[in-house]
Structure 1
């Protein structure tokens, strides 16, 4: 069994990322950006991806990356979750990158190196709610390939507005489409979580290049979404930890009846239950990251378990943070609503907790209760 404790290298990555985010991603700046026309923080992405080389963590060194593993990427996502950072790390450095890693050929290798450098941002053009086991069958139905070009529309694509290239499933193949080319339109959608905005991708005779086809394309899409779902649990862990830490701090400082509100027994019990939930979330998130990195356990099983547990915990942590912050927690100026929106959006991203529980039951051959 693998050691799930953080290594010295992982803690060093955490320290570096947290320091950068403290300087460039404070809550006031994130809130202001969500109210602007440019929700993505391109300067922060450049610092993370180009300056620190984090975009290529999952890419082997001989293919232009850092040669690290999912465990290090999970630590990065924990810190990004703590800051609700508006950068396309999960969608580009994890999902799109893992998809390309499973594709053979020069076109995929060239694009993978570009994503690893951080100077190119990629996104898998499937609805962000798509569960790994539901793809790619449903994804192929949205776009068709005809005479060297793609035609169709995909809704709910996360971070498409920030992407330079889209990986588009169509007619049993996987194609790369540059967003700056004629025939490609990316239209922002009204999104609950403005720190990870969604968009409609419309393809009207968009020029495309083939990356993979048949079983290879299907496996690549599944792998990308599975890695995304598994590491999303680490982002949800970071989010829940921030909510718990800030709520405990606030309840110690806020006084009522000449006592800190955190000294009241009812609130102590609520925070203690939340602490236990967060500790358990850390365990399943680390297990998923380790299974993806080493294959020491069934990755599909670990991913389903992590998402079945982490998604509802992140939502509950954010809801408790809003409630226990009292009146100030209901204001737009306080950042806690950003965490609630991210938690709610993440709870349906890459499959709901209910969908993952169903998948988990199938994986361990646990039949549903018989209906009378």
Structure 2
């Protein structure tokens, strides 16, 4: 299922933004599962418990459907698919704001491990474990970390692989069994695997805006790490993970926006005032039409980023920057319109609209703000400031 890449000197193929039959089949399977196990009432009830996510639902998604191993080659126990398929899963997870460690484990952690040396036994073993869905991983960087940022030196490692330091706002840190920790070692940048329940590892839960994506402050005090990569290999592995995560996060933001638009259209078609559906009023028609155009454009940007990552396009960094700069504000605007056009009911806890606004606002700063990505885009295309 791996997409071919262009050889040296070959022209870059035009991106294919349409969904394939396999991708639509994957979407149908994931949407059916989430409709049955992650409806709004279920998500709201789960937020009032101390359980970070439904392990039964994760097992069905990650193992039974095989979504956890989409980015992992078949020879390492995965599905051998591409970022395009992973993007479809994230669209559906965004559409249902499902609490699940998919972005953190199946995308960020998996991509970081793929960037380690292919003959690195520790990395390949962890990839197989994450691909099976039985183990959850997390890349130990703050959630707002953008690709192309400064070096990760919050954690220091000695020659024995003993780690000391603190990393704030790590997404799904409390749910992870394996932490992939970028550190500054004796020979420069390095990437270590740390067992989350091990001695010297402490996770302090924090209350995030988006309760469906738990955050935690990670403290390492003499924790034992298993070396995965050093030097340029470690730096490139983390950078590739952040770039892939940012690109595929756009698909989650697209899913959020699509649900908000569809729910708003449904509600305004059913709610009546002065004997007419409120959706028939011209002012509301214009607002929803403008939002539809924004969502359609966001779909193109998100699909372009996923396709660029899947095909190894030399313009992948540009596609990711464009997708994040555009999709993040669209998701926020769609959620705000959803709440406003629902009237009073949109402001209640019982209605799920607030979940989508909180996810959209949280995603807006995750893996880089829109402004940060616009700055990156300007550098990538050599567009100087006025």
Q: Same fold (TM over 0.5)?
A: yes
Match of 2:5? none
Residues 162-241 of structure 1 mapped to structure 2, 5 A cutoff: 162-171=175-184, 172-241=189-258
Q: Distance in 2 between matches of 1:204 and 1:3?
A: 48
Q: Is 1:37–2:50 an aligned residue pair? A: yes
Q: Distance in 2 between matches of 1:347 and 1:317?
A: 13
Contact 1:2 1:296 in 2 (8 A): no
Match of 2:347? 330
Residues 1-372 of structure 1 mapped to structure 2, 5 A cutoff: 1-104=14-117, 105-135=120-150, 137=151, 139=152, 141-146=153-158, 147-171=160-184, 172-296=189-313, 298-369=315-386
Q: CA deviation at 1:293?
A: 0.2
Contact 2:161 2:227 in 1 (8 A): no
Q: CA deviation at 1:297?
A: 5.0
TM-score, reference length from structure 1: 0.97
In structure 2, runs of 5+ residues without a counterpart are 1-13
* Structure 2 residue matching 1:37: 3-state secondary structure: coil
Q: Distance in 1 between matches of 2:56 and 2:347?
A: 30
Contact 1:145 1:170 in 2 (8 A): yes
* Structure 1 residue matching 2:356: 3-state secondary structure: helix
Q: Distance in 2 between matches of 1:296 and 1:215?
A: 21
Q: CA deviation at 1:52?
A: 1.1
Q: Distance in 2 between matches of 1:73 and 1:148?
A: 33
TM-score, reference length from structure 2: 0.94
In structure 1, runs of 5+ residues without a counterpart are none
Contact 2:113 2:124 in 1 (8 A): yes
After superposition, the C-alpha distances for 1:85-107 in whole angstroms (9 at most, x for unaligned) are 10000110001100100101111
Contact 1:311 1:346 in 2 (8 A): yes
For the aligned residues, what is the CA RMSD?
0.8
Contact 2:52 2:175 in 1 (8 A): no
Tell which deviates more after alignment, 36-45 or 319-328. Answer: 36-45
Q: CA deviation at 1:190?
A: 1.1
Q: Distance in 2 between matches of 1:296 and 1:149?
A: 38
Contact 2:90 2:248 in 1 (8 A): yes
Q: CA deviation at 1:258?
A: 1.1
Q: CA deviation at 1:233?
A: 0.4
Match of 2:8? none
* Structure 1 residue matching 2:174: 3-state secondary structure: helix
After superposition, the C-alpha distances for 1:255-301 in whole angstroms (9 at most, x for unaligned) are 11111111111110000000000000000000000000002451100
